[in-house]
Copies of this chain bind each other. A is one copy, B any other.
Amino acid sequence: MKSDHSSPGIDRRALLSGLALLPALPELLLPVSTQAQTAPGAPLASWNDGPAKQAVVDFVHAITDRASPKFVAPEQRIATFDQDGTLWVEHPIYSQVVYCLDRVPAVVAQKPGLKDVEPFKTVLSGDREAMAKLSRHDLEIILAATLTGMPVDKFEAEVKSWLETAKHPRWKRPYTDLVYQPMLDVLQYLRDNAFKTYIVTGGGQDFVRVYSQRVYGIPPEQVVGTMGGTKFGYDEDGKPFLTKEPKLLLNNDNAGKPEGIHLMLGRRPRAAFGNSVGDREMLEYAGAGEGARLMMLVLHDDAQREYAYGPARGLPDSKFGTFPRALDGEAKRNGWTVISMKNDWNRIFPFDS
């Protein structure tokens, strides 16, 4: 029995301590960088030789060898990737939460009555200490106000516009620059071997879809995220449109990840990549199928080039959602491969030389 696994886990919406590090609203207008999707040359060029790279290569060789009993038909090749902390930086705070907080002034401008109402008042104050004390309920109100209530096309345009201007506080670059080149290499390597690659994120499905093709080469229909309902209707000219509703259909984290994968794909992935307790059930689900399987966990142990947190810092658990130490043993038991950012990656970002 693994019922002890149904622990409360880490709630991505409760990560309020990160708010203390919230950057100021972006002021600079700079063009979006166009980043390389893959490193030039050999596959997995950003990976050092070692057990992690070898695990990827061995897996692909096994399932693409028609003479092998582990051969998997091309149309059965599905790989799923967590996003925050697995494909891009999640520190000091999830980009989507920054987006929601950045959107508050625009929401209040449209509904001025909210100006003196909490939690909007606190966010508008810019008082980071007060913002860090916002409750989970407060943050949910902010998410609902900034992610729902508008036509889907308008939401997409707003996210696009934000992505062009918002900057990460450390690198002073657009958030979409802060993707891990070695993971772009893996995405490409798997696609070159007939895999369909999916993002399976606790983040908002519609949010990630805005940039998934450009940033990861993953089309919107291959993004599985936390899902809200929409409502079909007609505008005054009789033209149909969809409005984003404040109705949660599926919280795509923890047990929600395999549930979301079933809803969106209807089949079990062959390979799954994550970095946190929120990815545990997805990796278990991928691993429970027959034949060759690949499950990998990104370990954030590179304080210099990125961050060191979670088990890399000896923490029993982590507010940033990285898998707790207990999972180290579990990873071994389950045949999951841990990726050390420090040792396994010769390059972190596409802009690294």
Contact = CB atoms under 8 A, between A and B. Distances in A.
Interface stretch (A23-31, A119-127, A264-272): A264-272
Contacts of A255: 231-232
A250 B250 CA distance: 11
Interface residues of A, number: 43
A285 B232 CA distance: 9
A240 B283 CA distance: 10
A3 B1 CA distance: 53
Given A1-B236, A258-B242, A263 B220 contact: no
Contact of A249 (B1, B3, B249): B249
A229 B75 contact: no
Given A1-B238, A209-B266, A264-B264, A259 B285 contact: no
Nearest to A232: B255
A239 interface: yes
Contacts of A284: 240
A206 interface: yes
Contacts of A221: 196, 264-267
Contacts of A234: 1-3, 5
A288 interface: yes
